[in-house]
Amino acid sequence: MTSTVGFIGLGNMGGPMAINLVKAGHRVLGFDLSEAAMSAHADAGGEKATGVAQMAAEADVIVTMLPAGKHVRQIYMGEGGILENAKPGTLLIDSSTIDVDSARAVIAAASDKGMPMVDAPVSGGVAGAAGGTLTFMVGGADEAFEAALPYLDVMGKTIVHAGGAGNGQAAKICNNMILGISMIAVSEAFVLAERLGLDAQKLFDISSTASGQCWSLTSYCPVPGPLPSSPANRDYQPGFAAEMMLKDLKLAQEAASSSGAATPLGAEAASLYSLFCNSGGQGQDFSGIVKFLRGTS
């Protein structure tokens, strides 16, 4: 069964995600402020939408992949936006990584218009977007989740229903807050080990099979050597850029502040990634924070 899918935001992530929908046989009306992105979409078999209003009026399903909550609020709830122009019953999927409050506000507004909607942020990066192997963390009502599943399956490999509206965002920022903190923890341990004359490979061997084991160590080791696949071995080319980690840590801090949760290490991790990004690390892989902690970035 093919649908008319509107897709807004054809960037590094959205572009290849939209093309996977095209490959699955859907008519995909793409929209982006970049003419180059629109052309690439058309070259790959998609159609160029003339604007948000036209696209929303024609689409059965709309997917958005935008930078921040303010863009999502604007494109859905603003004048000439999706909620004003889409048919009741249109399925809405926001795959942007944004603040929980914005996600919940937009889903509530969509519900008022009779449009089922999920927040469905992803992990897996550009490679996952191109290969259709993304992980989607999905928040929203059961019916909305079920309706979104066939489209998410085309773009991803692992689809998890995390609960009601906004819970996709909540799951992503909780996970990535653990990730950001543990990457700094592992990096601090390697820097301390170096200073103490403890070989990095020794620390890797010991902690990999002990209580210090974590994904940041055993799947993404921040120093060159122990794990050939990690970005540390290719001069910290991302991978997952430090500025994206900073974005997620800031979203976690917004959510903590808004909900009244105390997250002292999450806050400190955000500060450390800010310092790293401000000192030139923003485009490097997030594991490059080890250089900043060592004083060699």
User: Which positions touch a copy of itself (CB under 8 A)?
Assistant: 100, 123, 135, 137, 158, 160, 162-164, 166-167, 170-171, 173-179, 181-182, 184-186, 188-199, 202-203, 205-207, 209-217, 219-220, 252, 255-256, 259-266, 268-269, 272, 293, 295
CA 291, CA 145: separation in Å to the nearest integer? 42
Q: Which is nearer to a copy of itself, 154 or 178 (CB)?
A: 178
Tokens representing 99? 């603040």
Q: Which whole-number Å values give the CA distances from 180 to 85, 199, 203, 290, in the listed order?
A: 39, 24, 20, 12
CB of 93 to a copy of itself, least distance (A): 19
Q: Which is nearer to a copy of itself, 5 or 249 (CB)?
A: 249
CB of 294 to a copy of itself, least distance (A): 8
Q: Which is nearer to a copy of itself, 24 or 267 (CB)?
A: 267
Q: Which is nearer to a copy of itself, 26 or 104 (CB)?
A: 104
Q: Which residues contact 221 (CB under 8 A, 6 or more apart)?
A: 186, 204, 227, 230, 232, 287
Catalytic residue among 23, 87, 113, 172: 172
CA 85, CA 189: separation in Å to the nearest integer? 54
Q: Which residues contact 134 (CB under 8 A, 6 or more apart)?
A: 17, 122, 123, 124, 128, 155, 156, 157, 158
Indicate if 172 belongs to the active site.
yes
CB of 150 to a copy of itself, least distance (A): 21
Mapped onto helix, strand or coil, the DSSP state of residue 170 is helix
CB of 177 to a copy of itself, least distance (A): 6
Sign of CA dihedral 56, 117, 134, 73: positive
Phi, psi (rounded to 5 degrees) for 7? -135, 115
CB of 167 to a copy of itself, least distance (A): 5
Burial per residue of 231-256, b for 16 or more beta-carbon CB atoms within 10 angstroms, e otherwise: bbeeebebbbbbbbbbbbbbbbbbbb
Q: Which whole-number Å values give the CA distances from 186 to 30, 204, 281, in the listed order?
A: 42, 10, 18
Q: Which is nearer to a copy of itself, 44 or 185 (CB)?
A: 185
CB atoms closer than 10 angstroms to residue 211: 6
CB of 242 to a copy of itself, least distance (A): 15
Q: Which is nearer to a copy of itself, 57 or 267 (CB)?
A: 267
Catalytic site positions: 172
